[in-house]
């Protein structure tokens, strides 16, 4: 008896072919993509004369700049790319095509390139120190630029998220809270303070653009809140909770009572405890002072991270009115002043008080 095998149906063949094709395209796309699209770190690569394509592929793979040595070599061969010996500066955010294009063009290396890192939660004065150390600008000239109201006015007309709110004479530094913390690269030490500032504002523009409809005319208020929770919280979860607590206090006509605003109002470093008199000091930032009932500080007290900005815009609703953190970063929420005082006493009794 002869058994006839059924031929696969044409539709099934087409489906299998398309699935296989999509898988191949997907794998190819993945291998051609960057190894870390978020990375801004710069990696120096030296390609000496006589280095083979295989050796270059090995170097790039070792530095985690490409995902596949085989694909790199195939790409170079298919497109008949001539790789040039030179010293290069690459980033893990570059894809395969971008890396090969640079190797074909020749060196993009700039020996005078400088890197400026501005940390989250730091003040304009901290940023001014970084600029004065890393560039040919003095600390005094940097601060003078940050306080140049003619210049600030020109920026307000240029950036949608800057408003006349930052021109209040009681604000120490108009751009506090508006400078995006990040690592930036500039051609050399002669970079101007204005170029640095506007590079940071351009980055902040990118960060805030997705929140534009939610922010409306509340940018200054939300960045002020973000700057407070940047220093009060440690992650997106507890920062959202803390914003919820602060909103509850404001709605009930209570002082915000945030210690970090006191430190900023005094322009004091957060390295030791303050006295009772200092906590009661009167200024437009100190939310523990008399006269600050139901009020926010006049402006931001540091330059906040993305997570703090998100927290200020999308807080976690809760019914707490108090919170306190121990020296380990644990945060405890309470509903009454009595519960709060009890929790503070417990933390101190355990030796976990922050100071």
Burial (0-12, 13-18, 19+ Cβ within 10 Å), 169: exposed
pLDDT at 22: 64
Model pLDDT for residues 106-126, shown as the tens digit of each residue: 876 777 889 999 999 999 999
Give me the half-sphere count of Cα atoms (radius 13 Å) on the Cβ side of residue 7.
3
Residue by residue, DSSP assigns 140-198 as HHHHHHHT-HHHHHHHHTT-TT--GGGG-TT-S-TTTT-SPPEEEEESSTT--HHHHHH
Rg of the chain (C-alpha set)? 27
Model pLDDT for residues 336-354, shown as the tens digit of each residue: 999 999 999 999 999 998 8
Please report, in tens digits, the pLDDT of each residue of the chain (355 residues total).
555 555 666 776 777 766 766 666 665 566 668 888 788 788 888 888 889 999 999 999 999 999 899 989 998 999 899 998 888 889 999 999 899 998 988 876 777 889 999 999 999 999 999 999 999 999 999 999 999 999 999 999 999 999 999 999 999 999 999 999 999 999 999 999 999 999 999 999 999 999 999 999 999 999 999 999 999 999 999 999 999 999 999 999 999 999 999 999 999 999 998 999 999 999 999 999 999 999 999 999 999 999 999 999 999 999 999 999 999 989 999 999 999 999 999 999 999 988 7
φ, ψ dihedrals at 335, nearest 5°: -105, -20
Alpha helices per DSSP H over the chain: 10-32, 53-62, 69-78, 96-105, 124-134, 139-146, 149-156, 193-209, 212-215, 219-232, 236-251, 259-266, 276-279, 306-313, 337-349
Distance CA 83, CA 101 (A): 9
pLDDT at 201: 98
Which residues, 6 or more positions from 183, have their beta carbon under 8 angstroms from its beta carbon?
Answer: 40, 41, 115, 116, 117, 118
Which tokens is 144 given? Answer: 């003078």
pLDDT at 106: 82
Q: Residues 146, 173: contact at Cβ < 8 Å?
A: yes
| CA 140 to mean position of chain CA atoms | 26
Which residues, 6 or more positions from 192, have their beta carbon under 8 angstroms from its beta carbon?
Answer: 137
Q: Residues 313, 214: contact at Cβ < 8 Å?
A: yes
pLDDT at 111: 79
């Amino acid at each position: 008896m002869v058994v006839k095998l059924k031929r696969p149906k044409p539709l099934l063949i087409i489906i299998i072919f398309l699935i296989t094709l999509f898988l191949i395209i997907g794998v190819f796309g993945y291998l051609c993509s960057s190894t870390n699209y978020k990375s801004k770190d710069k990696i120096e690569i030296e390609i000496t004369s006589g280095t083979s394509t295989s050796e270059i592929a090995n170097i790039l793979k070792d530095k985690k700049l490409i995902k596949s040595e085989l694909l790199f070599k195939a790409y170079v061969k298919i497109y008949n790319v001539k790789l040039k010996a030179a010293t290069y500066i690459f980033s893990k955010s570059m894809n395969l095509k971008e890396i090969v294009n640079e190797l074909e063009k020749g060196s993009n290396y700039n020996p005078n390139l400088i890197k400026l890192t501005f940390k989250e939660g730091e003040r304009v004065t901290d940023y001014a120190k970084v600029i004065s150390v890393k560039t040919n600008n003095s600390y005094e000239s940097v601060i003078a630029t940050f306080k140049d109201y003619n210049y600030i006015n020109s920026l307000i007309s240029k950036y949608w998220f800057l408003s006349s709110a930052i021109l209040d004479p009681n604000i120490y530094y108009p751009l506090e809270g508006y400078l995006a913390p990040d690592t930036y690269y500039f051609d050399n030490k002669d970079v101007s303070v204005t170029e640095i500032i506007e590079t940071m504002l351009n980055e902040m523009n990118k960060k805030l653009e997705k929140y534009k409809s939610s922010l409306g005319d509340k940018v200054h208020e939300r960045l002020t809140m973000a700057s407070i929770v940047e220093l009060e919280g440690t992650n997106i979860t507890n920062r959202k909770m803390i914003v919820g607590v602060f909103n509850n206090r404001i709605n009930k006509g209570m002082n915000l009572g945030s210690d970090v605003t006191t430190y900023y109002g005094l322009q004091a470093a957060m390295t030791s405890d303050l006295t009772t008199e200092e906590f009661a000091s009167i200024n437009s930032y100190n939310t523990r002072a008399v006269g600050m009932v139901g009020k926010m500080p006049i402006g931001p007290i540091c330059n906040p991270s993305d997570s703090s900005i998100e927290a200020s815009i999308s807080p976690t609703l809760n019914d707490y009115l108090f919170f306190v953190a121990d020296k380990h970063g644990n945060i405890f929420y309470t509903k009454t002043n009595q519960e709060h005082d009890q929790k503070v006493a417990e933390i101190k009794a355990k030796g976990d008080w922050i100071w």
